[in-house]
Structure 1
Amino acid sequence: MEFYASCPAAFEQALARELRALGIRRPRPLKGRVSFEGSVRDAYRVCLWSHLASRVLLVLGRFACATPNDLYQGTYDLPWHEIIRPGASIAVSAHGTNPELRNSRFSMQKAKDGIVDRMVDETGARPAVDTHAPDARIVLTIRGDRASMSLDLSGEPLFKRLSRTVLARAPQGVDILRPDYAALVLAEAGFPELCQSARDAGTEPPVLVDLACADGGVLLEAATWLTDRAPGATRTRWGFQGWAGHDRTVWRELLAEAREREQAANRRPGRIIATDPDERAVEASKRVVAAGRIACAVDIIDPKADALRRALGRNVPAGVIVADTSVMAPDVIPSALRLATDATALAPCASMPIAWLSRPHGGLRIPGRAPSSTSNLLLGSDELQLVCLASASAEAAGTPYPGAGAGEPHSGKGAGGNRTADQKPSRAARATVDVGDGKPIPLLVPESEQFARRLIKVARQRRKWARREGITCYRVYDADLPDYSAAIDFYEGTPVEADHGQRDRGLAGGGRNRLGKANGHDGDRNKLDAAHGHAAEPATERWIVVAEYAAPKTVDPELARDRTLDILAIAPRVLGVPPEHVHAKTRQRSRGGSQYGKQGASVRHGGSPRADATSPLGDVLIREGGLSFTVNFNDYLDTGIFLDHRITRGLVREHARQARTFLNLFAYTGTATCYAADAGVEETVTVDLSNTYLDWAERNMALNGFIGSAHHFVRDDVLAWVEQQVRGRNRWDLIFCDPPTFSNSSRMGERTWDVQRDHVELLKGVVGLLEQGGVAIFSCNLRSFKPDVEALRAAGIGLEDITERTIPEDFQRNKRIHHCYLVRRL
């Protein structure tokens, strides 16, 4: 009988090794699958024991399939009444196309017609179709003018094996690493072979050292190998149960064998030692491990070399080291690398192979370790990289990597994987830098010492300037050294209380009104009462945001990453910021969508999610210009306030003193509206397309006491709203307009926005909304922006360039950070 096991790209070689270990003869790795021949017992064994396969399929037949008629006839000719169990429901899926069969849904329907017609002709009964939970899943695959039909023996994907208890106990917002990906990490480290060798020899099982346990996914999978527990042992529903050829006796025998093996392994339970520099990951792993009811010992320790040394003890058996930093916040990764460096210096770990799962170009540098393979993976939409590192002595001796198996060179190749051909030596032999606190900082790149010296100098200058000007949030460093291309922003503030957002929501509530869509509380411009405004001031704390500018393609990605990791290690020490208050982001050229991008959610992409990650309110309270604002360092690319607009906001306040009404277009979090309200305008209107930012703006206003029906918040497409208002009677004395560079948000319909292309039409509308003698402040951050002065003059619009006087001292290195103009009717 012919079968194949499907798998994600780059799993093929590891899956073939696993199948050989299960007794399958001559497995053949192909793209996205491994084919093999065997008996029903062989196929059942793979279903029950494979950690890496996604599905196991029985090939039912192949036939010529150039046309729809070929497809129908080829399907009809198969003896479906001998394949499908009587009374079983079916579902059909189709994959692949050819010139005559270009639509998978059409192909699926044609194949289903052939199956149903043959069943009716043979049995007189029409099988039920159940696309959600069928008893038998049939898979059509078209390649060129040939097609194959297969029966899915697994039913649901084999990687869907996490128990409901584990999923329910995992902290909210945490997605446990998919079991087959966790299994690949362990397989590439050679962990399964070590476990089997220990069982065969009757010796102590290997130890697993997990230096970045993330969400506990690798721990759960390792436990199944240490306890010799079949991954499919707890599953009760299988695809082969809808197959007429299902052999219940063979299946029961395999289940009984699996129970005996697990009982035998539990007499000598293995040991797992786990840690993570991120405390939230440690807590998540503890909950996941407890819910998983792991039989082997799991020690979750502090992320320190001394703690690891004590946990290992004496007479340590063979083992492997793993780490999963794919969801680790970039600013924590240096701590993980330092821990790995310290761990490999311990005698028991010196010869242990390492398998490290990370995002691509993770800057993985561990002294004394050389990458033996690199596999590029794709999990959903997330790009991951699995790097295997052997000890230098093993590499020099030509020792096969444990995961390779006897006589087979290990390779991360296969679809999506690549073997690293030329390994580069480590750039630094434990280079360090002292930033003045007496504690040397290990460096990945020796030249990072120049960055440290530069940052110390500019930080001292900025601190004096900020103290003199009464500024608490400012830019410290802005790509001063070309090779260290990042911006570092410093924030001083206080954490927002857990119930603060709810309290402000009550103050600012009331819905949306006349200009669209919001009704505040009754009353004029109202300040919060003294009970809310005069509580004891909490102590301020410090944060920094490190925004890395994407490196040019000519720069070695790993070198760029190492430099960034050095920046993240040096900056908090120089600026006196605790490591947990360091936030790293990567800025790339905008390719459309919202003006303010969301930073990445909880599905294995970005840092560990906060418990209140769904809240639109920032988590830190800052002060600027005598006003309070909330900022958010975790959830969005921008924090909620543009520091380069500090002077511009002051300009809004200055003009607002002579204005009665104020309009804020593309308002973001409404900071300019707060400045205008503070100047004493009688009415404000704040317009933005995003509900998230509009709510945030309303909270910022309420935080400063600006509540009531005089303050309106409008959620709308700004361009369409301006066109609508021009046709009405509403006019404003002062308008602030800070549009995005580009947007193709789906909420704009078919319209797109390009500030260079569309600014004339926008400013025509803006001027049309000004009262006689009114003024607009127009700003944009397109570095190459050039206003079409002639077209504007022809439309009766005057433009005064005030950019130079709106660039703050801390942004003088980047004088094109924004452009700013006063706009008036000629």
Structure 2
Amino acid sequence: MIEQLNEQLALTATCPKGLEGLLAEELRALGASDTREQPAAVHFSGSLELAYRCCLWSRLANRIMLRLEQVRISSAEDLYRAVAAQPWERHINPSGKLWLQFSGTNREIRNSQFGAQKAKDAIVDRLRRDSGARPVIDKQNPDLTVALRLQRDRLDIAIDLSGDSLHRRGYRTHIGAAPLKENLAAALLLRAGWPQIAAEGGTLLDPMCGSGTILIEGAMIAADIAPGLLRDSFGFERWLNHQSDIWNQLREEALERRRRGLERELPEIRGYDADAKVLFAAEANIARAGLERQVRVSCRPVAAFKVPSHREIKPGLVLTNPPYGERLGEQEALRETYAELGRQLKSEFGGWLVGIFTGNPELGFETGLRSHKQYQLYNGSIPSQLLLFHVRQQSAESGAEEGARKLSPEADMVANRLRKNLRNIGKWAQKNNIDCYRLYDADLPEYAAAIDLYKSVDGQVSAHVQEYRAPASVDENKARSRLRDLVRAVQLVLEIPQRNISIKERRRHSHKGDQKGGSQYQKQADSSAASIWVTEHGAELEVNLRAYLDTGLFLDHRPVRRYLREHARGKKFLNLFCYTASATVQAALGGCEQSTSVDMSKTYQAWSARNFRRNNLDPYRHQLVEADCLQWLASAQQNRRAHYDLIFLDPPSFSNSAKMRGVLDIQRDHATLVRQCMSLLAPGGMLVFSNNLRSFKMDESLVTEFNVENLPLLDKDFQRNPKIHNVWKIQAK
């Protein structure tokens, strides 16, 4: 029995294979904690209210399950006893209607139907023993659905709170020949970045819309409509623990959000199909969803697919699920369809993002477009791919876009250097699976800036342009003109929209090389962009390209983090001045047993916590400590706290934060810091000491006292600037 409203429940959301990461992200946004992914499912914790909210709002889940217990069994009798031990009288009236779902086998229970029968007997016998009544088995309209999953000797016992699969929203009564499930359509939209495109007023078009599922799901996302609002019922509504007041409040909130969403001016959402009959199904589904004014469809072949001309259309997303043919003859006939789609996209949709979802990726190549991102998904049991393309602008453009493509002779030099670096550094990065790297660092003195590329987990490429302050001898207007030329060159060469370029002026500090102390990390007043997630060595890390002068991930330390990961297995790890704790994430994924990450900034501690959650790090094993590292170190040394096998010390060059008791000067203070760290090392342990003060000199007494080895940890994208940081391995003699 649910005793308290806020009681934390063990919950599981199931989903189509390949959507686990997206679903985990969605569940966290809804309020879930302790998310843990497994194939086709995500486990999480939350209240009963959260379970209801997930049933109502999840666009990706198939089912939401309340996990009752996990037990070890080996025989049919073990199965019977384990199921009979559950207090079923608290979940269903003895004379109610019951349904069981059983999956899996083991050595003794070799048939899922037999397992279901045994579990049903256990539930019925318990209810009949206590009340004299027994439930009836009813698949169509049960009061309670029990879900049991057997994997080897482990039995999971759960209650299905969703009832019918959540992908059945309730609006699709008419379907085409090859229907796309609603939650898969929503996943395609999310992978293609539709929520952001819609928020910016971008258009959604589907040239082969079929029964309209992609269009309807797109409109529901844009209008903030809960996907479960049209459903007739949910599995929890006749469960004995159902809290109708909570549910009614959530539903009223969703109805109000829908009303407000539909009152807003939504982006243009249109679909086309050459089959007039299938468009009747689309129109019926759109009407049932209550979106006739927001979504329009019309009969048009692919060869006539153009940008709508009746009103000013903002470029956005073309997303479609074309047929791909199961037989060779069908595939050959479809090649021309894909080729025609490619011709129309290239001639009519310059500057648009295109997504093609297909079970035959070879047909995707027939478009003549090169995908910049591919996602492996399943359409039912069929392995499929979502191919994403950026369609290049045509040379006949006008207005601001045309201006962005016209470069001054000087900016042409920058563009040529960027192309050269892309061929060199870009090829190296691609070969080594590096998604974030430095492309340019004041290669041409007149254009003094650093340009870093960040590819997000959804395949979007962004450029982070950090302009170095021009010397006083350079006219300020000339400096601004050079920056504009630089940004145009970036946009032209990288073929990315202006919104994907962030521009910052990096002021020089009195302590050269300082990147971690002082005001350069104060939040910028004009910050407007949300964070993105990027991948490094298998870890997913949050970066923010606009809100701070630095992004949350120091790219020059990439090989340092790799080194720590390679040496972390089985170790107890300490990360001092941890910043956003990306090094700790790498050490944890490398197998460190425990970690402590110390930083005095609330902002960075919260950022670190998000990085930990994203990578499923156990907060009990990986501890975040908000403290002044200088005070923490002194206290740890004095109190003889537990020793560490691996310590990473990466302090700022200079810091006089108001939160600190004193002033940190790394050249002056490093010997003390190093000795304090060495006192916390376990026998055989290692300290990795790093800083980015270019004029830094190691104290000779440390070299005499310890084994000190310089580590040349610089990747190819920073080798032009060998003094960007210093790294040493320090061990006891």
What is the TM-score when the length of structure 2 is the normalising length?
A: 0.49
Using CA pairs below 8 Å that are at least 6 residues apart, which structure has the higher relative contact order?
A: 1
Which of these two proteins has the greater Rg computed from alpha carbons? 1
The normalised TM-score by structure 1 is 0.44
